[in-house]
Amino acid sequence: MGTSVQVTPLCGVYNENPLSYLVSIDGFNFLVDCGWNDQFDPSLLQPLSRVASTIDAVLLSHADTLHLGALPYAIKQLGLSAPVYSTEPVFRLGLLTMYDQYLSRKQVSEFDLFTLDDIDSAFQSVTRLTYSQNHHLSGKGEGIVIAPHVAGHLLGGTVWKITKDGEDVIYAVDFNHRKERHLNGTALGSFVRPAVLITDAYNALNNQPYRRQKDKEFGDILKKTLRAGGNVLLPVDTAGRVLELILLLESYWSDENMNYPIYFLTYVASSTIDYVKSFLEWMSDSIAKSFEKTRENIFLLKYVTLLINKTDLDNAPEGPKVVLASMASLEAGFSHDIFVEWANDSKNLVLFTERGQFATLARMLQADPPPKAVKVVVSKRVPLVGEELIAYEEEQDRIKKEALKASLIKEEELKTSHGSDNNNSDPMVIDSGNNHVPPEVAGPRGGGYRDIFIDGFVPPSTSVAPMFPCYENTSEWDDFGEVINPDDYVIKDEDMNQIAMHGGGDINGKLDEGAAGLILDTKPSKVVSDERTVQVKCVLVYMDFEGRSDGRSIKNILSHVAPLKLVLVHGSAEATEHLKQHCLKHVCPHVYAPQIDETIDVTSDLCAYKVQLSEKLMSNVLFKKLGDYEVAWVDAVVGKTENDMLSLLPVSEAAPPHKSVLVGDLKLADIKQFLSGKGVQVEFAGGALRCGEYVTLRKVGDATQKGGGSGAQQIVIEGPLCEDYYKIRDYLYSQFYLL
């Protein structure tokens, strides 16, 4: 049989819940994505908690909460300890996304599922890979190769390719085939006939308008609202699709000469843009070419102002404005507070650019027709005063005293243990455990030092020596000196404040001053909540800027990729069933849509064997250079070695002659360049190559056939049998080796 592959959904099938799937390849367990929703519902992670300790590696595909939001909690609480892999932008922007989530929750609740330290700890275990980089796993994963490829949708978004014994398992969710302002389209279409493809049905029922039409409608509705004196709120994610929206606004403001202010408001807005400026090589080809020509960074924003706290927005000049604020779900963050303030004014506009998560305020407001009023909980953190402050300080004093008492007891126990260890080697220490104590020395307590004069203090009952204990230095030494314990150099919690004071809270000390101020604000406080009914009089509009391929494009891509087996995840029940039926008819006969905790076996039906090539066989094989590889015909019989392994042995009789086989894809442009280098005058004429005066080269056949097999390709040489004919033929034979 082929490579063993099992897929078990842990979350996110037949619904729009976060994405998390267990993919087992020959017993090596991958956790592909580790998402959570904006409500941070622990019940969603129950399937993950049952398998977290068995996971061998984690692959992250996108830098948003739905794909990596549960990573800090899983590592802290669920026993997940596997190495994590992602691209550099997913690592950096995912870190900022989790910071923003934590700070937003901490301002309105006693959030305790994870801390900033937990976030840092989780992301420190991430190994960053570049696109198309093959990473070979070791140990239990020996023989498995993982590689990230372009997914589109979000910066650094990844289609994961997992290869074992020549068979590919592709994980491609939330991809976008369209090229955008800051992103290239997905590389999924470059894969042909993988053994297994895992993809989502999220957009299977949706079709998008053309980009120009959508961009025009977006700009027109903004202009109309602002000129009428209204404000515009765009609830956005922290560091994902908001980047495309920022570039769209910058372009529109420049083209239309608009002067209305635009604000980007998150706790990590400045850090987000600073990081994005350094990720130009991860963006679209047009951005890279523009930077090479002009040396101007497209994210040097001219019209968008970065804010990191709502006070700055409140102090902004009066008048119409556009605000991009997190979170997109309106469950928490600045967008929630701004919506509550602006919803009652019919001049204002709330423009949703992505579907809200299920059961969130944003999803409720996107209903058709939208509600006229919604109940919301408005919470804020206020400092403690009066009796509450006194009670808090008394409680803190009690906790400190208990901690001090516990530390003294621990220190005393430590001294006792050190003293006991030194009794045997120090002749000045009296062994209190000796049963043969002279009667003239023994006292009422049976101690070993009754007649010793003690000046100034009475030793505790645990004392065993008439002198201060002498602790020997038991440090280990090697050829380079004393062995260093790395734990001695770990930065302590009390030192973190000093680091943060100089501008840091994350791994590289890259955190906005406002966010750092929240971390360092140790004033006693509490959360005050107020449930209100908000009258929704503002205009509510939804426009699709999610950056995902639509249903028509998904079907075309799947037909081109033509996987041997297809697994559908993440999408409504209706969308999943619709795409499943389509794929059964037009893509492949093996289509699966498993339920939560349902394990499906998608092992390939192909047989793969490992064989040794005997030295006797290899000594007679003639290799020929072909690009970066060497190829040759091998005629052999299968046998076994002394270790009972399969081996290829030379045939006893002469092998029959072989037919000519062309390896690779013939390109007339390459042939033209090669012949020009040999001094032959070559030019294209009517889809063929005109070589000199008499010889013409034509290509027949096409290598790009469905299924990945090479088509019947030929180079036909036309012309009289002259000197040029034979010379050009010899050149081709020397360049394109025929096996």
The topology under which CATH files domain 5-207+544-601 is Metallo-beta-lactamase; Chain A (3.60.15)
Backbone phi and psi for residue 278, each to the nearest 5 degrees, phi listed first: -95, 5
Q: Are strands 20-25 and 5-11 parallel, antiparallel or unpaired?
A: antiparallel
Asked if the model's pLDDT at residue 705 lies above 50, the reply is no
Backbone phi and psi for residue 263, each to the nearest 5 degrees, phi listed first: -125, 135
3-state secondary structure 329-387: CCCCCHHHHHHHHHCCCCCCEEEECCCCCCCCHHHHHCCCCCCCEEEEEEEEEEECCHH
Number of Cβ within 10 Å of residue 200's Cβ equals 25
pLDDT at site 141: 93
pLDDT band at 702 (very low <50, low <70, confident <90, very high): low
Give pLDDT tens digits for 275-290.
Answer: 999 999 999 988 988 8
| Residue the block writes with tokens 């996987």 | 563
Residue 167 CA to residue 290 CA, distance in Å, equals 39
Residues belonging to the chain: 739
Contact 86, 60 (CB under 8 A): yes
pLDDT at site 608: 67
Give pLDDT tens digits for 463-516.
Answer: 555 566 666 666 777 778 877 777 777 665 445 444 443 434 444 445 665 566
Mean pLDDT of the chain: 84
Relative orientation angle of helices 269-277 and 88-106, to the nearest 10 degrees: 180
Contact 382, 525 (CB under 8 A): yes
Asked if the model's pLDDT at residue 299 lies above 70, the reply is yes
pLDDT at site 101: 95
Backbone phi and psi for residue 440, each to the nearest 5 degrees, phi listed first: -75, -15
Q: Which two tokens stand for residue 716?
A: 């036909």
> Between 501 and 9, where is the model more confident?
9
pLDDT band at 522 (very low <50, low <70, confident <90, very high): low
Mean pLDDT check: name the lowest of 248-257, 378-387, 496-505, 544-553.
496-505
Q: If you average pLDDT over each of 261-270, 292-301, 516-525, 636-645, which comes out highest?
A: 261-270
**Per-residue pLDDT averaged across 169-179, rounded?**
95
Contact 62, 68 (CB under 8 A): yes
**Per-residue pLDDT averaged across 334-359, rounded?**
94
pTM, whole model, 2 decimals?
Answer: 0.75
pLDDT at site 516: 60
Nearest to 111 by CA among 404, 304, 332: 332
Contact 614, 25 (CB under 8 A): no
pLDDT at site 491: 61
pLDDT at site 26: 92
Burial class (CB within 10 angstroms; exposed 0-12, middle 13-18, buried 19+) of 501 = exposed
Asked if the model's pLDDT at residue 454 lies above 50, the reply is no
Asked if the model's pLDDT at residue 178 lies above 70, the reply is yes
Give the containing element (helix H, strand E) for 251: helix 242-256
Instruction: Tell me the CA end-to-end span of the chain in Å, nearest whole number.
Output: 30
pLDDT at site 701: 66
Asked if the model's pLDDT at residue 647 lies above 80, the reply is yes
Residue 341 CA to residue 105 CA, distance in Å, equals 19
Asked if the model's pLDDT at residue 703 lies above 60, the reply is no
Number of Cβ within 10 Å of residue 423's Cβ equals 16
- Structure letter (DSSP) for residue 247: H
* Rounded alpha-carbon distances, angstroms, from residue 241 to 236, 544, 706: 7, 11, 34
Give pLDDT tens digits for 565-620.
Answer: 999 999 999 999 999 999 999 999 999 999 999 999 999 776 667 788 888 888 87
pLDDT band at 255 (very low <50, low <70, confident <90, very high): very high
Backbone phi and psi for residue 24, each to the nearest 5 degrees, phi listed first: -105, 125
DSSP secondary structure string for all residues of 78-130? S-----EEEEHHHHHHHHHHHHHHHHHHHTTS---S--HHHHHHHHTTEEEE-
- Structure letter (DSSP) for residue 248: H
Mean pLDDT check: name the lowest of 31-40, 304-313, 397-406.
397-406
Number of Cβ within 10 Å of residue 603's Cβ equals 17
Contacts of 185 (CB under 8 A, 6+ apart): 150, 152, 176, 177, 178, 179
Domain ranges of the chain: 5-207+544-601, 211-372+536-542, 612-650, 668-736
| Residue the block writes with tokens 């910058």 | 250
> Between 383 and 626, where is the model more confident?
383
Asked if the model's pLDDT at residue 731 lies above 70, the reply is yes
Give pLDDT tens digits for 223-248.
Answer: 999 999 999 999 999 999 999 999 99
Mean pLDDT check: name the lowest of 397-401, 481-485, 647-651.
481-485
590 half-sphere exposure, CB direction, 13 A CA radius: 17
Using omega within 30 degrees of 0 as the cis cutoff, is the peptide bond preceding 618 cis?
no
pLDDT at site 218: 94
Give pLDDT tens digits for 302-328.
Answer: 999 999 999 999 999 999 999 999 999
DSSP secondary structure string for all residues of 562-601? --SEEEEESS-HHHHHHHHHHHHHHT-S-EE-PPTT--EE
Contact 157, 86 (CB under 8 A): no
The domain defined by 211-372+536-542 carries CATH number 3.40.50.10890: yes
**Per-residue pLDDT averaged across 535-558, rounded?**
94
pLDDT band at 712 (very low <50, low <70, confident <90, very high): low
Using omega within 30 degrees of 0 as the cis cutoff, is the peptide bond preceding 369 cis?
yes
Give pLDDT tens digits for 661-693.
Answer: 666 666 777 788 888 888 888 888 777 888 888
DSSP secondary structure string for all residues of 287-334? HHHHHHHH---TTS-SSEEEESSHHHHHTSPSS--EEEES-TTSSSSH
Q: If you average pLDDT over each of 109-118, 397-406, 410-419, 424-433, which comes out highest?
A: 109-118
